[in-house]
Amino acid sequence: MNMYTLLKEFHSEFRWLVLALAVIVVIIFLIGFIAKRKYGKAENLTSLFYMISCDIQLLAGLVLYIFLSPATSSFAIDMSDPTSRFQSVEHPVTMLLAIVFAHIGRSKSKNAATDASKFKKGLIWFALSLIFMLSRMPWN
């Protein structure tokens, strides 16, 4: 098994952990917001683990995209081909935005003044992150 295949397989399988953590974080922040809970260690750690998993996935994706992928190594992207456009432009850009939203959500939820504000800001940004992820995640 070559490096490209190994990293592609890791990137493909690790997405399920990232997705699960995204769903968990959104649910925790939604429940915290609705139930007017105190923001605590569980919310802090869950959002941290989600952000770290996003960063690991980003690193694997960047190595694939920049160094190993035969589809992007020539940078001659056929924008008229939906598969090529998806792999070369849509997926990377949308996932990068999803990861940026995860980072914003973590920062905003940690630094907000009240517990209600922490849950609200976290919920908004983590939900945006999840929506963007779901919109351009390969499902095959």
Task: Using the predicted structure, report yes or no on whether residue 82 has a pLDDT greater than 90.
Answer: no
Per the structure, the complete domain to which residue 127 belongs is given by 3-136
Greater confidence, 87 or 118? 118
Task: Using the predicted structure, report yes or no on whether residue 89 has a pLDDT greater than 80.
Answer: yes
At 84 the three-state DSSP class reads helix
Quote the number of domains for the chain: 1
Distances (CA, A) of 102 to 47, 52, 77, 99, 135: 8, 10, 28, 5, 15
Kindly report the CA angle at 77 between 76 and 83, in degrees rounded to 5?
Answer: 145
- Over residues 93-138, the pLDDT tens digits come to 999 999 999 999 999 999 999 999 999 999 999 999 999 999 999 8
Per-residue pLDDT, averaged over 21-48, amounts to 97
Query: With contact defined as beta carbons under 8 Å apart, do 72 and 66 qualify?
Result: yes
pLDDT score recorded for residue 71: 65
Task: Using the predicted structure, report yes or no on whether residue 21 has a pLDDT greater than 80.
Answer: yes
CA distance 11 to 25: 21
Residue 84: count other Cβ atoms within 10 Å of its Cβ.
15
Task: Give the closest residue to 72 by CA, choosing from 57, 85, 55, 81.
Answer: 85
Phi and psi at residue 51, in whole multiples of 5°?
-65, -45
pLDDT score recorded for residue 134: 97
Q: In this predicted structure, which of 44-48, 74-78, 86-90, 92-96 has the lowest mean pLDDT?
A: 74-78
Task: Using the predicted structure, report yes or no on whether residue 78 has a pLDDT greater than 90.
Answer: no
- What's the one-letter identity of residue 78? D
